[in-house]
């Protein structure tokens, strides 16, 4: 069983507000890493793989293993290798890639790339690009700021979890945060042409594809609940709002993958610390219990 873990807390919300305040006041500048890094790729369990040595610059190198190829990203440069360490091609990216690299903050399902039959779809901070898997030629590009995940369904359609942020957002901070005017967005994209088939706004920031089912989940803290806690005096001696005084509102929406229309919504107070979706069965992990939800589908 694979658990997809997600935490929500008021501390993270306060951090985002503080960061935005720093930017508005002229502080909280972005630090750019322009260092050069030496990279050595070794495959200890592949006898026919030779060692590859090279350099990257503009940020800590990030390595992403896929099914038939492996990716090395440094700054705005993408390099693609086969499983024998032979370099196939390279390409310049429009923006850098968020995160700390595979094994350093990325989960397997959050790797910024997926392979189709003959193409490689890869996203940076502001653009989703489809490359020819063999030659590296660009087939199409889709501008979208704040992409956090791309995935394929069983029929090969591409689903993109992203935001409504504008390119100007990247000038002020290194990572796009959902909140304020920036909303979570889920898109279905034709992997051959890059055409957006449908788009769901304000749905949620976690998208799951399993079999013929499409789910989107979200956990929210209401501003009205925060205001109510302040008015009731549910604060600590230092004036901090008590976590128990502000409930989290958790929702799961099931959508029709063909049309993007909502089929049903599930709601409860209190967000799980982990969740897993297996076709028509949903498992939610809470600190004191595990809930298993199921439904019948024609």
Q: Please state the domain count of the chain.
A: 1
Residue 281: inside a domain: yes
Residue 285: inside a domain: yes
Residue 220: inside a domain: yes
* CATH number of the domain where residue 276 is located: 2.40.10
Residue 247: inside a domain: yes
User: In the structure, what pLDDT confidence band is assigned to residue 294 with cuts at 50, 70 and 90?
Assistant: very high
Quick: pLDDT tens for 235-257: 777 767 766 667 888 999 999 99
Quick: pLDDT tens for 35-74: 899 999 998 887 788 899 999 998 889 999 999 999 999 9
Q: Indicate whether this model's pTM tops 0.85.
A: no
Residue 22: inside a domain: no
Residue 288: inside a domain: yes
Percent of the chain at pLDDT above 90? 58
The Cα-based distances of 266 to 89, 251, 253, 254 in angstroms read 46, 6, 6, 9
Q: In angstroms, rounded to a whole number, what is the distance separating the alpha carbons of residues 155 and 279?
A: 15
Residue 61: inside a domain: no
Residue 239: inside a domain: yes
At residue 10, the pLDDT reads: 42
pLDDT at 270 over 70: yes
Give the domain range for residue 224: 205-298
Quick: pLDDT tens for 112-145: 999 998 999 999 999 999 999 999 999 999 999 9
Q: In angstroms, rounded to a whole number, what is the distance separating the alpha carbons of residues 123 and 134?
A: 18
Percent of the chain at pLDDT above 70? 79
């Amino acid at each position: 069983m694979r658990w997809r873990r997600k935490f929500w807390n008021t501390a993270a919300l306060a951090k985002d507000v503080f960061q935005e305040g720093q930017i508005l006041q002229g502080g909280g500048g972005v630090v750019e890493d322009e260092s050069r890094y030496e990279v050595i790729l070794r495959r200890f369990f592949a006898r026919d793989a030779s060692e590859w040595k090279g350099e990257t610059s503009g940020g800590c190198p990030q390595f992403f293993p896929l099914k038939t190829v492996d990716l090395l990203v440094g700054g705005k440069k993408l390099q693609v290798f086969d499983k024998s360490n032979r370099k196939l091609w390279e390409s310049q990216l429009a923006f850098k890639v968020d995160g700390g690299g595979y094994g350093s903050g990325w989960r397997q399902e959050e790797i910024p790339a997926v392979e189709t039959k003959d193409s490689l779809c890869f996203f940076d901070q502001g653009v989703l690009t489809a490359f020819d898997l063999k030659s590296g030629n660009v087939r199409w590009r889709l501008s979208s700021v704040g992409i956090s995940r791309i995935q394929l369904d069983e029929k090969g359609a591409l689903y993109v979890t992203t935001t409504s942020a504008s390119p100007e957002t990247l000038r002020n901070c290194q990572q796009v945060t959902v909140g304020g005017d920036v909303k979570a967005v889920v898109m279905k994209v034709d992997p051959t042409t890059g055409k957006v088939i449908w788009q769901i706004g304000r749905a949620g920031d976690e998208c799951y594809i399993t079999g013929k089912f499409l789910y989107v989940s979200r956990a929210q803290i209401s501003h009205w609940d925060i205001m109510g806690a302040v008015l009731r005096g549910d604060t600590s001696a230092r004036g901090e709002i008590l976590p128990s005084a502000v409930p989290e509102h958790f929702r799961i929406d099931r959508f029709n993958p063909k049309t993007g229309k909502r089929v049903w919504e599930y709601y409860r107070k209190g967000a799980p610390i982990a969740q897993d979706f297996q076709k028509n069965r949903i498992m939610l992990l809470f600190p004191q219990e595990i809930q298993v939800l199921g439904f019948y589908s024609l």
